[in-house]
Amino acid sequence: MNTDINRFKGLLPALLTPYDKNGKISSDSLQKLTDYCVGEGVDGFYVGGSTGEAFLLSTEERKQLIKLAMEAVAGKKPVICQVGAVGTDIAIDLAQWAEKNGADAISAVAPFYYPFSKEQILNHYTAITDSVSIPMIVYNIPGLSGVSLSEDDFKRLYEHDRIIGVKHTHHNLYEMERIKSIDPERLVFFGFDEVTLAGVAMGADGAIGSTFNLMAAQYIRLRELFNQGKNAEALEKQKMINDIISTMIPMGVFTALKYAITSRRGIPMGNVRAPFTPLSNEEKKTLDTVLDKYGI
């Protein structure tokens, strides 16, 4: 690998997509959100993923989001753009657009909905990676894609030297560790906020998370405590985070985050795209109570 992959390590918000009052992507709020996250100390950004509502956006909106995010970050931190799509040609188009607009790396969820064979899925990744000169980070999220990439699959994928790692959004940490062991130089990002500590303990190089948009400082502190050997304190920090996450889950994490960032950080985020629905007044009160408890 000719790429300096160490610069991608660390804690990266899976960036939310803010909308204005007309439901269009808000460049102003995107700028404010990225500035806020940089100020909190994040190590980079992951744009256009599940948290960013990628599959509720048109292809043109996904391109707009990439362009606006790259302009907002303005080289201050590395940016990974998620370009996955069911069709290989669509993913290639998005990958080339991301590269053209200055993305540091691309990522892609496996093609879903149709029962593609593993050979077809692996060929899909190779074709996307070959279409650009920047590195690829595979997005393994079987709970949403329905595709679980195995250790053997990654042995095949890693034959391509610009496939530099994986975003592993799966509770199977044994599988994550085994993937990491194939080539310890390749990156593993863990993708479930509620067990970030476990992911770090099992060898992840970093984490990409939804709730980092709101409370990156809490995760940064968790990582510091773990690195200092203060495991009990790190666990208490994870428990605090999980109190907030468990409150958000029944009401929809992305919806809850947009409300919290709007009300707590003063950054207008708009609602989540339909068929998601906004929080009820009762849900807002419930969320405010737990955020007040922890001073978030």
Closest CA to 202 of 174, 165, 227: 174
Look up residue 90 and give its two tokens. 């669509």
DSSP run (H or E) holding 199: helix 196-201
Rounded Cα–Cα distance for residues 288 and 293 (Å): 8
> Annotated catalytic, 284?
no
Q: Residue 289: CB partners within 8 Å, gap ≥ 6?
A: none
> Annotated catalytic, 114?
no
Rounded Cα–Cα distance for residues 48 and 60 (Å): 12
DSSP helix, strand, coil percent of the chain (3-state; round to 5): 55, 15, 35
Q: Residue 141: CB partners within 8 Å, gap ≥ 6?
A: 50, 109, 167, 169, 170, 191
Instruction: Find the catalytic residue in 32, 167, 180, 258.
Output: 167
What is the β-pairing status of strands 136-140 and 105-109?
Answer: parallel
| Burial class (CB within 10 angstroms; exposed 0-12, middle 13-18, buried 19+) of 268 | middle
Instruction: Find the catalytic residue in 19, 36, 125, 139.
Output: 139
Q: Give catalytic residue positions.
A: 139, 167
